[in-house]
Amino acid sequence: MKIVALLLSLTLLVITHELGHLGFAKLFHTRVRRFYLFFNWGFSIMKAKKFDNQWHFLFFNSETPDDWYIQDPDKPKEQWELKEPDNTLWGIGWLPLGGYCDIAGMIDETKGADQLESEPQPWEYRSKKAWQRLCIISGGVLVNFISALLIYTCIFAHWGKDELPLRNAELGYDYHQILLDEGIQNGDIIWSIDGEEQNDLTKAQQKIILDKPKTLVVKRHQWVAPVADSSVMAEVQLQPQLVELFDTIHLSSDLSGRIVAENPKQLMSLRMPFVVKEFIAGSAAKTAGMKEGDRVVSINGEECQTYADISATLMENKGKEVLVGYIRDGQYSQSSIKLPGDGKIGVMLKTPIEVFNVEHTEYNFFQAVPAGIKYGCEQMASYVSSLKLVFTKEGAKSLGGFGTLGSLFPQTWDWLSFWTITAFLAIILAFMNVIPIPGLDGGHILFTLWEIVTRRKPSDKFLEVAQTIGMFLLFALLILANGNDLMRWLRGMFFK
């Protein structure tokens, strides 16, 4: 399901990006010869073009037939023009690494300077005014960013916004070993970082990674034994008490570097209680007398508060009879349950939204628009600020390719997750494409801005060389990112 979600998301992102280029090209009467979803090196899954007053289609095709061209015996076939050149050829390639919009008169990954006509033609990209070319080449980035804002707007309008304040996590959080090594304990709640109070999980994690904080304060529940008074009779046993403590933790200076180097999927995760929502057929818990809403707090008399601890303890006792303690309507009860071979008691659990004090905000469409724009801009700012970590030795090792992108999606299909991740990927695509590297839109934008400022247009030969160098750099980066994914997978398989 992760692969399906990733391919669908990439399809939407590529189509919207290339449509941005195509839209501005058509606006300024520039021919777009081909529009492709995915690359078609040597082979196309589908081609479609309108000429002779009807649509023509080709499927699983490697070479366009001669009757699609305006045949010129004085030129090689590679230089023949497709019939009705003002109509775009639409296609689907086989390699899902992107797509392209073949704009006439533009030096890009589809053609070099030697493939252009000797004289610029009025329908060509290179014949347009600099500001028009700037609009055409910026169209993809612009549409990607607008798409992200639109998706966030629709998410808020349809689902609203659910936020669990950091301090509303009753059982605290489980932490990655990196933070445990710093002195944080599972169950702690981060209260402040460098004196700044925290109540947003995402922002707290970003601050730990990006701002290189020196101290953080955690709220901790801890059993404390009372000090015996001399007047207390020796035979009276004083019971430990659960109290709330605040502990200041001094963080090591290399914490951010370690996080980037190890690249954990999660620095901290919510500790979930084991609260019964409903029973499945043949449930051992239902047979033993448990009811919906019961909250498991102990197994065989030993305190177990979190889903992770309870499920692990049940698995250790699979096939055995255990005494399960739970809270019902504020009262503690116990039931003896005979566990099946899989160690499960046959229940579905309540979600965080159903258990914790989650803040839900409803939006109508007109309220969702500014909320979506604000959230999208915050996501862009957060992503840009995180890029400074890439330009370190640890950051280069943490780069990821398609495997990393696929891991963002959940195992089971969820529309909210799909659209949220797709919107974030649209923001990434928009920013990455504006980086001034030849081969990316940002390279073309840079050269066009240079022309506007200096009134000197770079030569076609210069643009071709720059394009070649840029494509080499991009392929090297692609190999590095996906190579990192491969190495992480191999380490996970053979060096657990």
SS (H, E, C) 405-441: HHHCCCCCCCHHHHHHHHHHHHHHHHHHHHCCCECEH
CA angle 233, 238, 243 (to 5 degrees): 145
Residues in the chain: 496
Chain position carrying tokens 């503690």: 332
Facing residues of 406 across strands? none
0.95 cut: is pTM over it?
no
User: Alpha helix locations (H) across 351-414?
Assistant: 352-355, 365-386, 393-398, 402-407
Instruction: Write out the DSSP string of 247-262.
Output: EEEEPPTTHHHHHHHH
Facing residues of 95 across strands? 39
> Residue 52 in contact with residue 46, Cβ under 8 Å?
no
Distance CA 67, CA 80 (A): 11
Strands 347-349 and 274-279, by their bridges, are antiparallel
Query: Which pLDDT value is given to residue 233?
Result: 45
What string of pLDDT tens digits covers the 496 residues of the chain? 788 899 899 999 999 999 999 999 999 999 999 999 998 988 999 999 999 899 999 999 988 888 898 888 877 777 778 888 888 999 999 988 788 999 988 877 666 556 666 678 899 998 999 999 999 999 999 999 999 999 999 999 999 998 889 999 989 999 999 999 999 999 999 999 999 999 999 889 989 988 889 999 999 976 555 555 555 444 444 455 667 889 999 999 989 888 888 878 789 999 999 999 999 988 999 999 999 999 999 999 998 889 999 999 999 999 999 999 999 998 999 999 999 988 999 999 998 888 998 899 999 999 999 999 999 999 998 888 877 766 666 666 667 787 888 888 888 889 999 999 999 999 999 998 898 888 888 988 999 999 999 988 888 788 888 888 888 888 888 888 878 778 777 776 666 5
- Tell me the residue ranges of DSSP E strands in 130-270: 161-163, 173-175, 189-193, 196-197, 215-224, 241-250, 268-270
The sign one gets for the Cα dihedral 378, 383, 389, 394 is: positive
Query: Which pLDDT value is given to residue 465?
Result: 85
Distance CA 356, CA 333 (A): 22
Distance CA 80, CA 88 (A): 15
Q: How many CB atoms lie under 10 A from the CB of residue 481?
A: 18
Query: Which pLDDT value is given to residue 400?
Result: 77
Query: Which pLDDT value is given to residue 468?
Result: 83
> Residue 95 in contact with residue 41, Cβ under 8 Å?
yes
Helices (H) and strands (E) in the chain, counts: 14, 19
